[in-house]
Chain A
Amino acid sequence: MRVTLAIARRELSAYFSTPLAYVFLVAFVASTGAATFYFGNFMARRQADLTPFFDFHPWLYLIFIPAVGMRLWAEERRQGTSELLMTLPVTAWQTVLGKFVAAWTFVGIALALTFPIWISVNYLGDPDNGVILAGYVASLLMAGALVAVTSFASSLTNSQVIAFVLGVVASFLLMMSGLQLVLNLFSGWAPQYVVDLVASFSLLTHFDAIARGVLEMRSIVFFVILILLFLFLNRQVVEVWKMS
């Protein structure tokens, strides 16, 4: 535990060691705001809730999270510091978990910085804060899943650019698998249970289920399992590094 935290702390401080982190945070907060007000018609809806705000999160994450997570392993390998890290008395799990926690925390900080919009909606009307809390939980879980996906993508390459592209593509596929567009690809020939299986992997469906305010257990478990699955794959890849 201490080891994992030490790695997470180092990784998180690495984010803030460059101005890029602050640019990221500002860009994220600004774009959530812009999306909510311009595309989400936050004002014109005349409803005191944050539905348009949360609706845009998956799409912002699609770019934002691979950008945050792409360096996790790729940079380590490119700089050769992986040799230092992997010869310290740590297990692959501790490293994988430490890096994941750091990147997730960074996204969490970005998410927390959107608090002014919560204050605004409370000032303007009388929203159901329980639903807003559920929205934040859904958003954080979704972010966790995408961070795990990106971390895995980053472990596959020593190029940050490739890691970014892989992260975006994998995240996109996972998000879109519930849309009719994707399901149609399967429904023509595959049996119904395959179509259902593909649909059940959709991040968007589970995100909506939680964000509606019901905190559906099934969907929470889904995100947790997805995170663990990709962290496990991440660990396997890191173990395979040793072989080559």
Chain B
Amino acid sequence: MTPLIDVRSLRKRFGAVLAVDDLSFSVNRGEVLGFLGPNGAGKSTTMRIIAGFIAPTAGTALVCGEDIQSNPVAAKRRIGYVPEGSPLYGDMTPEGFLKFICDVRQMSREERRKAVATAIDRVQLDEVLHRRIDTLSKGFRRRVGLAQAIIHDPDVLILDEPTDGLDPNQKHLVRELIRSMGDTKAIIVSTHILEEVDAVCDRALIIDRGRVVADGTPMQLHARSPDFNAVSLKVTKAETDRAVKLLRAVPKVASVEAVEQIHGSTRLLVRPQDGEFIAEAVGAALHGAHLATTDMNNVVGTLDDVFRSVTLNQGR
């Protein structure tokens, strides 16, 4: 299967700053790619290049096989793009604006009628159709931006922080929308919210200083967390020392740490070597020594930890 988005050795220099440094990746149909990275890592720049808003210094991107550099109009026909902050023509109504987008995308009147109706339905815009866009709330404005991006049912969607600044309900709506389209399109979503990656993405790409520093499914990224497959458990205060000693002897255990004291009991975090699964061995050892434990569970590790570890270690 040829990828719908194929980014090839992309490089973008702004004066002395190298914003994107030899970046290559591809996204297939049915994939939702979470695009992560610290501020200034080159996320927006990369998305803008793929969407054809700015030209790369070197390299290129292919969208559905069309080169965004040499054949920009053909490539842009296949893309739906929501720029960062979702800029819109405030003097128009959502209806007028969506019709304008259809006209520019050269739809017939009949196609336009259907497309506008479908898009309005998908993002639930009906109640504000005839109000000026600049009088709408942020949530509705973002929905207009999304409607604009999906109105021609594109194969490729590029969404630059689509949930930024929205309330939890609105975020939920946007995520549902992304997930519902994820099976039939290739989607790139940039975000700062790491829980969003678990919620909507099939794959995550972390970039830092214009380079890929991590690429994998959300689970593979979790596996890079130092706490991945660690075991968290509670023992009574009196038995803490015995438990620590015992657990250190369990095979594949790398460390045992007392992380907090609560009401006469101590919570221990048992970290494995190389992310090995140790929960069973830990359970068996405690059981064998007749040590009573409560609240024992397997820790997956947060993406925040992974994010910090991969973006802070890169030669800073």
Query: Do A and B truly interact?
Result: yes
Give the interface of A toward B (CB within 8 A).
Answer: 2-3, 6-7, 9-10, 13-14, 17-18, 79-81, 83-84, 86-91, 242-244
Query: Known contacts A17-B92, A18-B91, A242-B53: does B100 contact A6 (CB below 8 Å)?
Result: yes
Q: For the complex, give the distance between the alpha carbons of A91 and B148 in Å.
A: 19
Task: Tell me the interface secondary structure of chain A in the complex.
Answer: helix
Name the interface size band of chain B: 20 to 34
Q: Is the CB of A90 within 8 A of B54?
A: no
Q: Does residue B79 face the partner (Cβ distance < 8 Å to A)?
A: yes
Residues of chain B with a CB closer than 8 A to A18's CB: 91
Query: Nearest chain B CB to A100's CB is how many angstroms away?
Result: 17
Q: Does residue B87 face the partner (Cβ distance < 8 Å to A)?
A: yes
Q: Does residue B18 face the partner (Cβ distance < 8 Å to A)?
A: no
Q: For the complex, give the distance between the alpha carbons of A13 and B74 in Å.
A: 28
Query: Known contacts A2-B106, A243-B54, A243-B55: does B87 contact A14 (CB below 8 Å)?
Result: no
Query: Known contacts A86-B52, A243-B55: does B91 contact A3 (CB below 8 Å)?
Result: no
Q: For the complex, give the distance between the alpha carbons of A87 and B104 in Å.
A: 11
Query: Nearest chain A CB to B96's CB is how many angstroms away?
Result: 7
Give the interface of B toward A (CB within 8 A).
Answer: 14, 48, 51-55, 73-74, 76-77, 79, 81, 83, 85, 87-92, 96, 100-101, 103-106, 132, 148
Q: Is the CB of A7 within 8 A of B53?
A: no
Q: Is the CB of B104 within 8 A of A90?
A: yes
| Nearest 7 A/B pairs, CB to CB | A80-B87, A6-B103, A17-B91, A89-B76, A83-B83, A89-B77, A242-B55
Residues of chain B with a CB closer than 8 A to A242's CB: 53-55
A79's nearest neighbour on chain B, judged by CB, is: B87
Known pairs A14-B92, A87-B79. 14 more at Cβ < 8 A? A9-B103, A10-B100, A14-B91, A17-B92, A81-B89, A83-B53, A84-B83, A84-B87, A84-B89, A89-B73, A90-B76, A242-B53, A242-B54, A243-B55
Q: For the complex, give the distance between the alpha carbons of A80 and B106 in Å.
A: 23
Residues of chain A with a CB closer than 8 A to B148's CB: 84
Q: Is the CB of B52 within 8 A of A3?
A: no
Q: For the complex, give the distance between the alpha carbons of A79 and B89 in Å.
A: 8
Q: For the complex, give the distance between the alpha carbons of A2 and B102 in Å.
A: 11
Query: Known contacts A10-B100, A244-B54: does B106 contact A91 (CB below 8 Å)?
Result: no
Residues of chain B with a CB closer than 8 A to A13's CB: 91-92, 96
Residues of chain A with a CB closer than 8 A to B96's CB: 13
Query: Known contacts A87-B53, A91-B73, A242-B55: does B85 contact A3 (CB below 8 Å)?
Result: no
Q: Is the CB of B105 within 8 A of A88?
A: yes
Q: For the complex, give the distance between the alpha carbons of A89 and B87 in Å.
A: 17
Query: Nearest chain A CB to B88's CB is how many angstroms away?
Result: 7
Q: For the complex, give the distance between the alpha carbons of A83 and B83 in Å.
A: 7
Q: Is the CB of B91 within 8 A of A87?
A: no
Q: For the complex, give the distance between the alpha carbons of A160 and B294 in Å.
A: 67
Query: Nearest chain A CB to B263's CB is how many angstroms away?
Result: 54
Q: For the complex, give the distance between the alpha carbons of A86 and B104 in Å.
A: 11
Query: Known contacts A81-B89, A87-B79: does B55 contact A3 (CB below 8 Å)?
Result: no
Q: Is the CB of A3 within 8 A of B53?
A: no
Q: For the complex, give the distance between the alpha carbons of A80 and B81 in Å.
A: 14
Query: Nearest chain A CB to B225's CB is how many angstroms away?
Result: 36
User: Can you offer 8 A-B residue contacts whose CB atoms are under 8 A?
Assistant: A6-B100, A9-B103, A13-B91, A18-B91, A83-B48, A83-B53, A83-B83, A89-B74
